[in-house]
Amino acid sequence: MFSQRNLWRKSLGSKPVLTQILRRTLFASTPSPSPSERPPVLPPFDHQPTPYNKMMADEILKKRKEFLGPSLFYYYQKPLNIVEGKMQYLYDESGKRYLDAFAGIVTVSCGHCHPDIVNAVVEQTKLLQHTTTIYLHHAIVEFAEALASKMPGNLKVVYFVNSGTEANELAMMMARLYTGNLNMIALRNAYHGGSAGTLGLTALHTWKYPIPQGEVHHVMNPNPYRGAFGSDASRYADEVKDHIAYATPGSVAGFIAETFQGVGGAAELAPGYLKLVYDIVHQAGGVCIADEVQSGFGRTGSHYWGFQTQGVIPDIVTMAKGIGNGLPLGAVVTTPEIAQVMSQRIQFNTFGGNPVCSAGGHAVLKVLDKENRQTHCADVGSHLVRRLKELQNKHEIIGDVRGRGLMLGVELVTDRKDKTPAKAETLILFEKLKDLGVLLGKGGLHGNVFRIKPPMCFSKEDADFLVDALDYAISTI
């Protein structure tokens, strides 16, 4: 895609001039904030990283350029060599500790190297790593049963795969086979994967290669902050009805949406939208797919699944990332009736439901319950949102603070009226925050949204540190 270095060159220009522009932008219509005197300090943490004596960052980067695909991109002008992780913290090659507020892109749900998950994986690995589903194994059915018990309605049948992309590929195929229709509806600003099929569902031009995109229609994104109809779900839903009537044969295979668009910048759908659209899609003969790759497993705090925040039960749910705390694992959960459609041919996935991943995934579910992580996300998340909103009152550059639980976004704009994306400023703050010890994610079509989606063990002290660091970074730019 794009190289981070090129992005820097393009967006920064000459630094002194830029700094002046930034100063003007940041403090244009607010009184100068009083910056903290000293940079904030990471909360104490009792862990001594193992001394690192392997390849250093410069050499890794050199070899990566030589031996890995040129489309790979990295964060930060000087990319970090992260060599160890413990719960919500990461350590680089020099032993410097960072607060991980992005969890390996919303993947490390329980915490880096959580002992229960490490133990489950190691114990299973010692006994048996792999056989495939041509033989029986207790781990896969135990995990499937535990996962099904977390689902509402008749969502009881699980297909295991290796990633979110694979899960969405399978879900789309099921929708088409089950309904006998081809047309899929997805939202603009969505990310559903990078394979040839799911690229069609994805609607962010930065990720879209110019290849055939399949029978996919992208309807308006019901984004309360930037959407044309604000939070008015019914007007966005009317547009879906209109789109089906004009741009499809009148019947569709399915509709897919993230309830909180992750890559798109932690954008929550307008309240009530999914209920209205699910009815419209069902009337058009389609099934409704919820992409829970980022928002599942209690991360939103108020509910276990993102779609529950909108009071709907999908026909198919896809999941990955947090399901495995870092293991390559994904799943599609659906009703027995829809699942049946795959049995007309052989459906097979070599690693899907592998004993090691199943043991690890099952351990994730147990840890999340044992440590009450959903309640914890609600508690810490509401504290963090409150503090971020206070910061928004102080700094004009913060255009929007949004999300729930530990699935949050902070959108930066150069002016609040036109909501012009603060692209260059975001990059500068991103670097500063890293230097201060905070690793965030970045998202949105213009890369001007900070994504805060840490491991779910992230504490209130971590939240305070993050906000203080953001305050300090903006104040001292």
Ligand X SMILES: Cc1ncc(COP(=O)(O)O)c(C=O)c1O
Binding piece for ligand X, criterion CB under 6 A, among 34-42, 233-241, 289-297, 409-417 = 289-297
Which neighbouring-strand residues pair with 112? Answer: 87
Instruction: Label residues 192-210 b or e (16+ Cβ within 10 Å = b).
Output: bbbeebbbbbbbbeeeeee
Q: Both ends of the chain: CA-CA distance in Å?
A: 29
Cα separation, 218 vs 236, whole angstroms: 12
Give Cα 23 distance to the centre of its chain: 31
Q: Which of 216, 293, 333, 357 is close enough to bind ligand X by CB under 6 A?
A: 293
Q: Considering beta carbons, is residue 304 or 465 the nearer one to ligand X?
A: 304
Task: Using CA atoms of 371, 377, 382, 388 in order, give the dihedral in degrees to the nearest 10.
Answer: 120
Which neighbouring-strand residues pair with 287? Answer: 254
Binding piece for ligand X, criterion CB under 6 A, among 51-59, 157-165, 226-234, 447-455 = 157-165
- Check binding of 109 to ligand X (CB under 6 A): no
CB of 380 to ligand X, least distance (A): 22
Q: How many residues bind ligand X (CB under 6 A)?
A: 15
CB of 24 to ligand X, least distance (A): 35
CB of 294 to ligand X, least distance (A): 5
CB of 110 to ligand X, least distance (A): 17
Q: What DSSP designation does 372 have? A: T
- Check binding of 294 to ligand X (CB under 6 A): yes
Q: Is 113 left (phi over 0), alpha (psi -120 to 50) or beta?
A: left
CB of 192 to ligand X, least distance (A): 5
Q: Considering beta carbons, is residue 25 or 325 the nearer one to ligand X?
A: 325
Rg for the chain (alpha carbons), in Å?
Answer: 22
Sheet holding 89-92: strands in order across? 82-86, 89-92, 97-100, 438-439
CB of 321 to ligand X, least distance (A): 6
* 443 closest CA partner among 420, 419, 409: 409
- Check binding of 470 to ligand X (CB under 6 A): no
CB of 196 to ligand X, least distance (A): 13
Instruction: Kindly state the tokens that stand for 449.
Output: 């949204």
Residues 36, 471: contact at Cβ < 8 Å?
A: yes
Instruction: Kindly state the tokens that stand for 310.
Output: 């909108």
Q: Considering beta carbons, is residue 401 or 407 the nearer one to ligand X?
A: 407
Q: DSSP 3-state assignment of 449?
A: strand
- Check binding of 263 to ligand X (CB under 6 A): yes
- Check binding of 286 to ligand X (CB under 6 A): no
CB of 323 to ligand X, least distance (A): 10
Q: Which of 268, 291, 315, 400 is close enough to bind ligand X by CB under 6 A?
A: 291
Q: From residue 161 to residue 200, what is the string marking binding to ligand X with x (rule CB under 6 A)? A: --xxx--x----------------------xxx-------
CB of 393 to ligand X, least distance (A): 31
Cα separation, 219 vs 224, whole angstroms: 15
Name the residue whose CB lies closest to ligand X: 164
DSSP assignment of 226-275: TSTTTT-HHHHHHHHHHHHHHHSSS--SEEEE-SEETTTTSEEPPTTHHH
Which parts of 401-440 interact with ligand X (CB under 6 A)? Answer: none
Residue 407 to residues 152, 342, 382, 455, Cα–Cα distance (Å) = 22, 33, 11, 10
Q: From residue 89 to residue 108, what is the string marking binding to ligand X with x (rule CB under 6 A)? A: ----------------x---
- Check binding of 268 to ligand X (CB under 6 A): no
Q: From residue 243 to residue 262, what is the string marking binding to ligand X with x (rule CB under 6 A)? A: ---------------x---x
CB of 11 to ligand X, least distance (A): 23
Q: From residue 311 to residue 330, what is the string marking binding to ligand X with x (rule CB under 6 A)? A: ---------x----------
Q: Considering beta carbons, is residue 293 or 428 the nearer one to ligand X?
A: 293
377 φ, ψ (degrees, to nearest 5): -60, -40
Cα separation, 110 vs 107, whole angstroms: 9
Q: Which residues sit at the interface with ligand X, rule CB under 6 A?
A: 105, 163-165, 168, 191-193, 258, 262-263, 291, 293-294, 320
